[in-house]
């Protein structure tokens, strides 16, 4: 691998935050925390933190799909525009797995097997999630690394993630409960890890076996689900309904997550720049709290929007992540009936005007993003809904429908917002999420009508559902997934422009539930080049644009653009070499 794709060392002093007693901000100072972690090594830290040193599983023969003759990808600065490295301190993990993830993906299980799966998850999670590194622990480790200290021996090494025992001729969430359990165990192993070790696993997973070939830049996205899944913004994550002991897991506020992510960006300069989450409910709650205590009060909170602004303008973040299927529409919430939101809302003092307040919070975000050329990534598939309500016609409406791209038309029609940069993640849905042709048709129509609409092909299980022989000729499921894109979505003159709006994304760590997840990049890269031809500049140029050029434009990485200027200032403040950013100046065409 060239220097562009290798870990870069950093040897400058960190910026400690001191308390009045001269200890680092938090519960313990760095030395005490590191000493505690070292002491734990004697009892087996790898067991205590099962996700602390993850790496990709052993590559299988499919990686030969990218070989010596594939000169078109050599040296290409691939961008993973959709990935995650959060852990169970950042999201209410058990709520997400049991209330969102399993109901969505384990639909083929019998009732008895669903109960067995729920029991297995509960038992495993009660042992694992409580050992997830805290904010103070990870900050201490990162400060030590940034100060030039070597990695703790207890955290060194790269034990592989478990591989699935069976072949990859089906999705992991089929009718086999053992496959389901293994998939969830993979995910929980990551959710219990240090975030910077999760980034190392992400990096290793997306490496290719050729020199100068692989992902050059990852854009890990935070997500904020706390209010919608019942964890709340200032409370502990409650999982008492599952009878586990993980209720002691206090969720990190987004501002703390931003602090850790910035340190990870400094540790891996040029390789990692994140997307900060925004939850409009949190913004509503923050504003109400501040109005109650007074703006000059010491109890004033940093609002959700202020956290976004700080991350983008000061901390090296590239974009914002929104998750409408949690329960909010991109705009137009004021028109929804009172019962269209979670029951927990009834206990809040702002319940009566909630829809209107959500819209005001969202419009404030969109205006900031347009003014500062900040891209937004929004979940864009009918999946992962956090609830449902019954409308006036008696029809049950899943929150997942609030991710429909049509809902964004109201946003783009607002004065001054037509230029909003927007990525509809997941391209309307893969096989696992009930692919919806009308969602894709809407995405295409919006690409035609607005200048900055994009979509990503992240987490498509079809790419990993064949028994690979190493020749790349048996990827029938991948071919069936890509053929309609060429024949339908990219047909006619509109297809030329649409091809420049397609983005590569892995959706790691969610991808870890799939068989041979480590083969996602080589399969997608190889099959996209083979199948997306006869459009625009041809197969190789289309594949290069998909893997790199389009994302560089979406993220604003080229010289002179606002995002690039902000990043260069951030690099200068931290004494980092901005040379990695110049990789994106030459891409395009």
Q: What is the pLDDT of residues 223-234, one digit of tens each?
A: 999 899 875 544
Q: How many angstroms separate the CA atoms of 193 and 47, rounded?
A: 11
Q: What is the pLDDT of residue 241?
A: 30
Q: What is the pLDDT of residue 34?
A: 56
Expressed in percent and rounded to 5, the helix, strand and coil fractions of the chain are: 50, 10, 45
Q: What is the pLDDT of residues 412-455, one digit of tens each?
A: 999 999 999 999 999 998 765 556 889 999 999 999 999 999 99
Phi, psi of 238 (to 5 degrees): -95, 125
Q: Are strands 388-390 and 396-398 parallel, antiparallel or unpaired?
A: antiparallel
Instruction: Determine which of 54-68, 103-117, 140-154, 461-475 has the lowest per-residue pLDDT on average.
Output: 54-68
Q: Minimal CA–CA distance to 442: which of 496, 498, 396?
A: 498
Place of tokens 């900040």: 374
Place of tokens 């602004």: 309
Q: What is the pLDDT of residues 251-261, one digit of tens each?
A: 789 999 999 99
Bridge partners, residue 319, by sequence: 275
Residue 10's pLDDT band (boundaries 50, 70, 90)? Answer: very low
Q: How many angstroms separate the CA atoms of 88 and 92, rounded?
A: 6
Preceding omega of 509 cis (within 30 degrees of 0): yes
Residue 36's pLDDT band (boundaries 50, 70, 90)? Answer: low
Half-sphere exposure of 433 toward its Cβ, with a 13 Å CA cutoff? 28
Q: What is the pLDDT of residue 329?
A: 97
Q: How many angstroms separate the CA atoms of 459 and 511, rounded?
A: 6
Mean pLDDT of 294-311: 96
Average pLDDT along the chain: 80
> Is the separation of the CB atoms in 571 and 261 below 8 Å?
no
- Answer yes or no: is pLDDT of 246 > 50: no
Token pair recorded at residue 563: 């995002």
Q: What is the pLDDT of residue 126?
A: 65
- Answer yes or no: is pLDDT of 236 > 50: no
Q: What is the pLDDT of residue 589?
A: 55
Other CB atoms within 10 A of residue 114 CB? 17
Token pair recorded at residue 391: 């409308």
36 vs 331 pLDDT, higher one = 331
Q: What is the pLDDT of residue 548?
A: 96
Q: How many angstroms separate the CA atoms of 211 and 214, rounded?
A: 8
Q: What is the pLDDT of residues 113-144, one digit of tens each?
A: 777 777 777 666 666 777 788 899 999 999 99
Domains in the chain, CATH or no CATH each:
12-64+76-584 (3.20.20.140)
Q: What is the pLDDT of residue 144?
A: 94
- Answer yes or no: is pLDDT of 294 > 70: yes
Bridge partners, residue 272, by sequence: 218
pTM of the model: 0.86
Token pair recorded at residue 217: 């830049």
Q: How many angstroms separate the CA atoms of 269 and 289, rounded?
A: 37
Radius of gyration of the chain (CA): 23
**Highest-scoring range by mean pLDDT, 148-152, 183-187, 430-434, 534-538:** 148-152
Q: How far is it between the farthest Cα atoms of the chain?
A: 68
Mean pLDDT of 569-583: 96
Angle at 501 between CA 496 and CA 503, to 5 degrees: 130
SS3 235: coil
Residue 9 burial (C-beta neighbours within 10 Å; 0-12, 13-18, 19+): exposed
Q: What is the pLDDT of residues 502-519, one digit of tens each?
A: 999 999 988 877 767 778
Q: What is the pLDDT of residue 211?
A: 67
Q: How many angstroms separate the CA atoms of 123 and 146, rounded?
A: 37
Q: What is the pLDDT of residue 191?
A: 82
Q: How many angstroms separate the CA atoms of 491 and 535, rounded?
A: 8
Q: Minimal CA–CA distance to 222: which of 427, 98, 377, 372?
A: 377
Token pair recorded at residue 519: 């083969």
Q: What is the pLDDT of residue 134?
A: 86
Instruction: Determine which of 109-113, 452-456, 495-499 has the lowest per-residue pLDDT on average.
Output: 109-113
CA distances from 328 to 79, 332, 365 (A): 29, 9, 14
Q: How many angstroms separate the CA atoms of 547 and 542, rounded?
A: 9
569 vs 134 pLDDT, higher one = 569
Residue 474's pLDDT band (boundaries 50, 70, 90)? Answer: low
What percent of the chain clears pLDDT 90, i.e. is strictly above it? 48
Q: What is the DSSP string of 431-486?
A: TTTT--HHHHHHHHHHHHHSTTEEEEE---GGGG-S---SSS---HHHHHHHHHII
Angle at 94 between CA 91 and CA 100, to 5 degrees: 85
């Amino acid at each position: 691998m060239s220097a562009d794709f290798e870990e870069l060392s950093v040897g400058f002093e960190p910026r400690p935050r001191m308390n009045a007693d001269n200890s680092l901000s938090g519960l313990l100072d760095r030395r005490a925390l590191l000493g505690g972690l070292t002491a734990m090594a004697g009892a087996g830290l790898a067991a205590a933190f099962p996700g602390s040193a993850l790496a990709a599983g052993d590559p299988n023969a499919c990686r030969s799909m990218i070989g010596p003759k594939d000169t078109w990808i050599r040296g290409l600065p691939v961008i993973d525009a959709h990935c995650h490295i959060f852990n169970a301190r950042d999201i209410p993990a058990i709520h997400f797995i049991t209330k969102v993830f399993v109901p969505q993906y384990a639909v083929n299980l019998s009732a008895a097997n669903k109960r067995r799966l729920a029991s297995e998850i509960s038992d495993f999670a009660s042992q694992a999630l409580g050992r997830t590194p805290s904010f103070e622990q990870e900050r201490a480790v990162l400060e030590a690394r940034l100060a030039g200290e070597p990695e703790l021996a207890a955290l060194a090494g790269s034990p592989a993630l478990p591989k699935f025992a069976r072949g990859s001729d089906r999705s992991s969430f089929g009718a086999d409960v053992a496959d389901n359990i293994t998939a969830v165990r993979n995910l929980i192993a990551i959710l219990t890890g240090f975030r910077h070790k999760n980034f190392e696993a992400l990096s290793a997973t997306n490496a290719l076996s050729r020199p100068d070939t692989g992902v050059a830049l990852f854009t890990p996205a935070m997500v904020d689900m706390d209010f919608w899944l019942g964890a709340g913004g200032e409370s502990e994550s409650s999982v008492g309904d599952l009878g586990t002991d993980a209720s002691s897991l206090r969720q990190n506020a987004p501002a703390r997550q931003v602090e850790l992510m910035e340190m990870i960006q400094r540790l891996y300069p040029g390789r990692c720049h994140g997307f900060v989450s925004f939850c409009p409910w949190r913004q509503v709650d923050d504003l109400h709290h501040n109005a109650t205590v007074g703006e000059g009060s010491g109890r004033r909170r940093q609002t959700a929007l202020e956290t976004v602004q700080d991350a983008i303008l000061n901390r090296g973040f590239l974009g914002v992540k929104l998750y409408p299927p949690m329960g909010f529409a991109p705009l137009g919430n004021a028109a929804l009936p009172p019962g269209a939101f979670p029951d927990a809302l009834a206990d809040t003092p702002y319940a009566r005007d909630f829809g209107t307040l959500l819209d005001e919070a969202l419009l404030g975000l969109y205006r900031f993003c347009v003014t500062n050329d900040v891209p937004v990534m929004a979940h864009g598939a009918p999946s992962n809904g956090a609830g449902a309500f019954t409308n006036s016609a008696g029809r049950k409406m899943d929150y997942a429908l609030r991710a429909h791209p049509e809902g964004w038309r109201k946003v783009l029609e607002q004065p001054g917002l037509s230029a909003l940069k927007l990525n509809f993640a997941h391209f309307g849905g893969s096989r696992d999420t009930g692919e919806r042709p009308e969602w894709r048709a809407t995405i295409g129509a919006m690409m035609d009508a607005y200048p900055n609409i994009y979509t990503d092909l992240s987490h498509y299980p079809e790419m990993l559902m064949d028994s690979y022989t190493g020749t790349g000729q048996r990827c029938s499921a991948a071919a069936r997934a890509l053929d309609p894109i060429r024949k339908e979505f990219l047909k006619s003159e509109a297809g030329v422009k649409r091809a420049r709006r397609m983005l590569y994304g892995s959706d790691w760590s969610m991808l870890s539930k799939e068989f041979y997840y480590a083969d996602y990049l080589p399969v997608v890269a190889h099959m996209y080049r083979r199948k997306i031809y006869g459009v625009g500049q041809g197969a190789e140029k289309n594949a290069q644009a998909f893997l790199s050029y389009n994302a560089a434009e979406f993220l604003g990485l080229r010289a002179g653009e606002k995002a690039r200027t902000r990043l260069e200032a951030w690099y200068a403040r931290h004494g980092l070499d901005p040379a990695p950013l110049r990789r994106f100046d030459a891409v395009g065409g």
